[in-house]
Structure 1
Amino acid sequence: MAKQRHSNKPVLVVGLGRFGIALSEQLIAQNKEVLAVERSRSLAQKHADSLTHVVEADATDIEALKQLGAEEFDSAVVGVGTSIESSVLIAANLVDLGVKQVWAKAINPTHGKILTRIGCHHVIYPEHDAGVRAAHLVPGQMLDFIKFDDDFAIVKMRPPKDLHGKTIDQCQPRKRHGVNVVGVKSPGKDFVYAQPDTKVSAGDTIIVSGDVTVLEGFADSA
């Protein structure tokens, strides 16, 4: 129960560019309360009706953040990307105020290195990550792709012909291909975790985990 209460705590989002807006809207869709801080009056007014709370303020000024009660937030995201100086100042302010989890968008490795050095807990590279993800999806075999730091990934894809009409035990994906089929989603049915007797059909969607290179070869056989 405690975990659920923590997850429902409000999130502070600084910057209402494309990244900040997409993030805020998704958080709201997940029933999270969002306080968005935007220096531009036009942007703040534009999104005032669609977001939970929007405040026009300059987050590079730590006093402005104090007035907003920023130190009371457990999580904050710096979505400012056009100005590295502003991004770093805002992140530093949030760290200094004791926000437990500060996430910040970085536009390049140097920017990210500075954010890490000043104490940012999480640095994200949305454009780079989107490009990597798209590179795996463009060939058309994978439907979604999430990569972890150690070259391990989880993908959503259509099952290769080798799996059609067979159970997991019959096709032995781990032994024959080096991947694990985690779950199966059949049209019109609920997602199920894969068991040895789970049957895979051509129209299904499967969730598969494994080494990135191995997964790419598995997807190419689809």
Structure 2
Amino acid sequence: MAIKHSQFVIVGLGRFGSSLGRELIELGHEVLGIDLDEETVQDMSSVLTYAVSADCTDEETLRSLGVRNFDCGVVAIGDDIQASILTAILLKDLGVKKVVAKAMSELHGRVLEKIGVDRVVYPERDMGIRVAHQLVSPNLLDYIELSKDYTIAELAVPKCLNGKSLNDLNPRARFGCSIVAINKANGIIIAPSATDVLTERDIMVIIGTNEQIEDFEATVIR
């Protein structure tokens, strides 16, 4: 559920990187894919906005590709931990606004955190499609696709909705989606009533079509 179109650079176009890239493109974003393997780059060139074969551990190469202008850099390198760490450092140094990196192990993840990576992803726990939705929507905490069209999403309640009741939002009448639960600090409200009031940092569990939830987020969560 994207609020605005963004530009992503994905370094490493293996299973995870290519899955993530495909979904970001489906969501309407621009994606530059970088991989050493020319055959992989050729396969993805018709899918992504741009795809290039390049050495991601070379600072001048990354600089020449203009990576500092991208909103988010994703290090999705497969089995070369040294290249993963060095690429993450270079993306941070070159001024990429947000850097996300795939970790192969807990130790690898801790190293990535130490060097300032904004988010560490473990492929065993985070599928590429789910991560794509989370990256482009700051209020989206979790995302489960029930079918091609229907989704359950967890959205954090922003400050602008603090004190609003579900009746004030009226999501079913206005957007066609439903808030089926509210996770509050003192417990979860299942099937909340129209009089239940939201508090900043509550978590809304919403069900509806992808378009309905996207409209709700774009209109209500500003």
How far residue 103 of structure 1 moved from its aligned partner, in angstroms, is 0.2
TM-score (norm 2): 0.59
C-alpha deviation, 1:50, in angstroms? 1.6
What displacement does 1:120 show? 0.8
- AA aligned to 2:7 is P
Correspondence 1:14-163 to 2 at 5 A = 14-129=11-126
Q: Residue 86 of structure 1 aligns to which amino acid in structure 2?
A: A
1:32-74 CA distance string (max 9 Å, x none): 0101111111100111112111011111111100010011112
Distance change in 2, residues 1:156/1:19 (3 Å): closer
Match of 1:171 in 2: none
- Give the match for residue 176 of structure 1: none
SS at match of 1:126: coil
Given the superposition, is the C-alpha separation of residues 33 and 115 from structure 1 closer, same or farther in structure 2, using an over 3 Å criterion?
same
The change in CA–CA distance for 1:193 and 1:47 in structure 2 (over 3 A counts) is same
Q: Percent same amino acid among aligned pairs?
A: 37
SS at match of 2:117: coil
Distance 2:143 2:56 in 1: 37
- CA deviations 1:171-202 (Å, max 9, x no partner) are xxxxxxxxxxxxx99xxx943234537xxxxx
- 1:12 alignment partner in structure 2: 9
Work out which of the two has the higher radius of gyration on C-alpha atoms and give 1 or 2.
Answer: 1
In 1: Cα distance, 2:79 partner to 2:145 partner: 33
The gaps in structure 1 that reach 5 residues or longer are: 134-151, 158-183, 198-206, 209-222
**CA deviation vs aligned residue, 1:113-168 (integer Å, no higher than 9, x gap):** 111111111111121446xx9xxxxxxxxxxxxxxxxxx989899xxxxxxxxxxx
The 3 A distance-change label for structure 1 pair 78 and 191 is same
Q: Greater relative contact order: 1 or 2 (C-alpha under 8 angstroms, separation 6 or more)?
A: 2
Q: 2 CA distance for matches of 1:156 and 1:16?
A: 23
Q: Shift of residue 30 of structure 1?
A: 0.6
1:191 pairs with 2:177: yes
User: C-alpha separation between the residues in 2 aligned to 1:154 and 1:26?
Assistant: 13
TM-score by length of 1: 0.59
CA root-mean-square deviation: 3.2
How many residues align structurally? 148
The AA in structure 2 aligned to 1:192 is S
